[in-house]
Structure 1
């Protein structure tokens, strides 16, 4: 499944709504921690693409079928910017710049790769309950990222 994203900040909300609507057929309940984490990750990666590239992007979502109890959810945002994600240091008062640090804290795996003349930033969440990270787990790990963030450009 994929969604074309225009370089407009309003697209972030549309991407979240689109991702939520896709959860219904996957067997992942909208109130499950996995769903909440997935929507937050969609928001972060789409925001990065919209804000930092100013170019159209594509959101791809790969969800397990309703019958699969243990599977991986994969989220990708491909854009037309060939610039790699680069670390940024931000102070405690900054209102942005922590998106990929959040992705790192919440996803089971994440990375990026060259795609055509641009790139794709992806992350994966394991559906099995034991390996899922939650927002609460991120709070515990947050001190490792204090003053250090990533910018996807």
Structure 2
């Protein structure tokens, strides 16, 4: 399954809606923590493609069917920019620059490879492994680098 993305920030919301609509036949419920993590990863990778490349992109999802063995869910975003994705170190007041750190913290695996004149960034989520979370005040928080974080 794939969706072509225009270099427009409004495409991020469209990509999230498209990904949610694809979950129904995959055996992943819309309120499943895996679904929420997947949608966050879609948002981060598509945002990176739209904001940092200014080029069209293609979003691909591999969602194994409900009857399949627990196979990983794979998300890929291919764009026409040859610039490598570079995780950034940002201070606490920065309003951006944390996308790849989120991908690294939430995905079971991720990477990138050159593709023609551009590149493909991918990540995978294992269906059989519960998402990494920490509990605080009754709320599950994602864990990154051993620390729980919350977007506010």
Return the TM-score normalized by structure 1: 0.87
Equivalent residues of 1:73, 1:124 under 8 A apart: yes
The runs of at least 4 consecutive aligned structure 1 residues that moved more than 6 Å come to: none
Quote the residue 2:44 is aligned against.
44
Q: Normalized per residue, which structure has more helix? A: 1
Quote the residue 1:23 is aligned against.
23
CA distance in 1, matches of 2:142, 2:24: 26
Corresponding residue pairs, total:
142
Deviations 1:89-138 (A, max 9, x none): 211000100000000000000000001110000000000034x3347242
Q: RMSD of the TM alignment (CA)?
A: 1.6
Question: Against the structure 1 CA distance between its residues 110 and 141, is the aligned structure 2 distance closer, same or farther, given a 3 Å change threshold?
Answer: same
Residues 1:83 and 2:88 are matched in the alignment = no
CA distance in 1, matches of 2:31, 2:8: 28
Flag structure 1 segments of 5+ consecutive residues without an equivalent.
144-153
- Which structure is richer in relative contact order (CA contacts within 8 A, separation 6 or more)? 1
Return the TM-score normalized by structure 2: 0.88
